[in-house]
A = this chain, B = another copy of it.
Amino acid sequence: MIYVVFVEPESPGNIGFLARTMKNFGLTNLVLINPCELKNESYYQAMHARDVVSNCEIYETLEEFLEKANISTAVATTGNAGGSYNISKIAVTPETLSDSINYGGNICLIFGREGNGLSNQEIALCDVIVSIPTHEEYQIMNVTHAAAIIFYELFKKEKSYPVDTLEPASAQEKKSLTAIMDEIIVKLGYPEHKTKNAQLVFDRIIQRAFITGREAHTLKGTLRRINLRTKEK
């Protein structure tokens, strides 16, 4: 079970934004600690995640929630990981978190107040701190945007939800394209190193171009015809 905990949210709209981005990544358990009043704005910003808002649990303190929910891993988030207030714990990136997290127990991802984040005492209750690498000029993200990135990174590693796109060309299909082009290039009468280079360039382009299966099929037809019609030197 994964809980998303928002500690003392100050803006009703942000509760909705958080709920929406949770649902975008398959998360539904929202916990609010001593929140501002839920308002229409919360439901409005949640869009199709209104159910996440209306099913939220509310606790008075973070400590109370951690005890009652039998949390095995509490993950704190901070935009200020290097702060001297917390030198005793090392912050990891969302990617590292995603690599190492164990989904077997009850996990919670804890986000702090819009203005001041989590307190030292709250962070001390957590097992892991996660911080997003940002540009040095402006490191503090909006809390719901930071949450989106962490959810995305966790979801991505789980690999349960592929992007719904056209079928990309298989490695085999791409190989058959470069194989035909290799034959064509050999006929062009280049010196050997130029032949190799020309083949390499075409190969790289094919690997990099996100070719679909359908495109590979069309291009293969084209290259075959070219090959048939190309005179050897």
Q: Taking beta carbons and an 8 Å cutoff, which residues of A are in contact with B?
A: 17, 20-21, 23-26, 45, 47-49, 81-82, 87, 90-93, 95-96, 100, 128, 131-142, 144-146, 148-149, 152, 155-156, 160-166, 168, 184-185, 187-190, 197-198, 201-202, 204-206, 208-212, 215, 218-219, 221-222, 225-226, 229-231, 233
Pick 14 A–B contacts, CB within 8 A, sort by A: A20-B142, A45-B142, A48-B140, A81-B164, A82-B166, A90-B166, A95-B156, A100-B208, A146-B148, A188-B226, A190-B225, A197-B218, A198-B219, A198-B222
- A133 partner residues in chain B, CB cutoff 8 A: 155-156, 161-163
Contact between B230 and A218, CB atoms less than 8 A apart: no
Contact between B161 and A136, CB atoms less than 8 A apart: yes
Cα-based distance from A1 to B226 in the complex (angstroms)? 38
Contact between B24 and A134, CB atoms less than 8 A apart: yes
Please give the distance in Å from A192's CB to the nearest CB on chain B. 15
Please provide the 8 A-B residue pairs with the shortest distance between their CB atoms, ordered closest to farther: A82-B164, A26-B135, A209-B209, A145-B148, A188-B225, A23-B138, A201-B218, A205-B209
Copies of this chain: 2
Please give the distance in Å from A141's CB to the nearest CB on chain B. 5
- Which of B25, B92, B184, B222 makes the CB contact (< 8 A) with A135? B25
Q: Are A24 and B161 also in contact (CB < 8 A) when A198-B222, A221-B198, A226-B226 are?
A: no
Q: Are A135 and B163 also in contact (CB < 8 A) when A188-B225, A211-B205, A229-B187 are?
A: no
Please give the distance in Å from A198's CB to the nearest CB on chain B. 5
- A212 partner residues in chain B, CB cutoff 8 A: 90
- A188 partner residues in chain B, CB cutoff 8 A: 222, 225-226, 229
